Amino acid sequence: MKDFYGKVAVITGAASGFGRAFAQQGAALGMKLVLADVQQEALGQAAAELVQQGADVLAVPCDVSRAEQVQALADAAMTRFGAVHLLFNNAGVGTGGLVWESSVADWEWVLGVNLFGVIHGVRIFTPLMLACAKRDPEYRGHIVNTASIAGLQNAPTMGVYNVSKHATVSLTETLFQDLRITEAPIGVSLLCPYFVPTGIHQSARNRPATMLNDGELTASQRAAQTFTEKAVTSGKVSAEQVAELTFDAVREDRFYIYSEQEPLVQVRKRMEDVLQSRNPYDPYEEAPHVRELLRTRLKR
């Protein structure tokens, strides 16, 4: 997909973080925008800001974990613009703690947004985009799924999040193969960012009341929350820079997108463990002080 001007982009999680940066970048390229987010006030503010800049914007409140709401998003996009060219399955949330301390509600919330949000986006929008291609021989589309470096490795106290992102990696790689074998004019990219200041460490503010846990956080959950907040807020790459990298990848029809190269060293070690049947490496091998600090917090 080389030409963005006048094309239609659908972006989930568009009110903040990567989603808002994707929207800004798309607007700068002259795209028509369909913005979706569960945060209705922030969504309205993001849409109003882009409209003031001259963008053609449709804002649709949407909980991506709900299939019927993603279908409504697709219907609204087609009613307003008649086509979808670029889809960002981007909405995401996070939680942490020792994996056996994660509740059913933790699993349902994180997998609902991070995994089923992508599943619904792929299941609903891919046939729609294929239909657009049948009507227009010149049609070119692209799907970008947001995963994480956490989808390529497995740090402790991040079990639920890790699972959601590993599944997203598998889903996206399979989507790439399925579209290629059917010779569809739709490209696919997998975004695997490292720690970026997007506000994901505050995602619990949008957690539905029906999925809240009773009681206080465990020591491991508090530790994971503290470590994640520090790592996210100290990220060296901005959401805007990631958006630029992502649009470049779409232009180049490039599948893997990384915000930084340094974490790939650990990904390589993990793959070597798999190939050589070794026990998994220690992700804190190069930072033993972090491992000991985490252990100390867990003991509390």
Q: Which residues are catalytic, by number?
A: 161
Separation of alpha carbons 263 and 259, rounded Å? 9
Q: How far is CA 246 from the centre of its chain?
A: 12
Contact between 259 and 236 under an 8 Å Cβ cutoff? The reply is no
Please report where in the chains the tokens 């993603």 appear, as a residue: 70
Report helix, strand and coil shares of the chain as percent, to nearest 5. 55, 15, 35
Q: Rounded distance, CA 273 to CA 93, Å? A: 29
Q: What is the spatial distance between Cα 31 and Cα 14, in angstroms, rounded to a whole number?
A: 14
Task: Kindly write down the DSSP assignment for every residue of 135-200, as one continuous string.
Answer: H-TT--EEEEEE--GGGTS--TTBHHHHHHHHHHHHHHHHHHHHHHHTT-SEEEEEEE--S--SSG
Do 297 and 97 meet the contact criterion of CB atoms below 8 Å apart?
A: no
What is the C-alpha to C-alpha distance for residues 166 and 299, in angstroms, rounded to an integer?
28
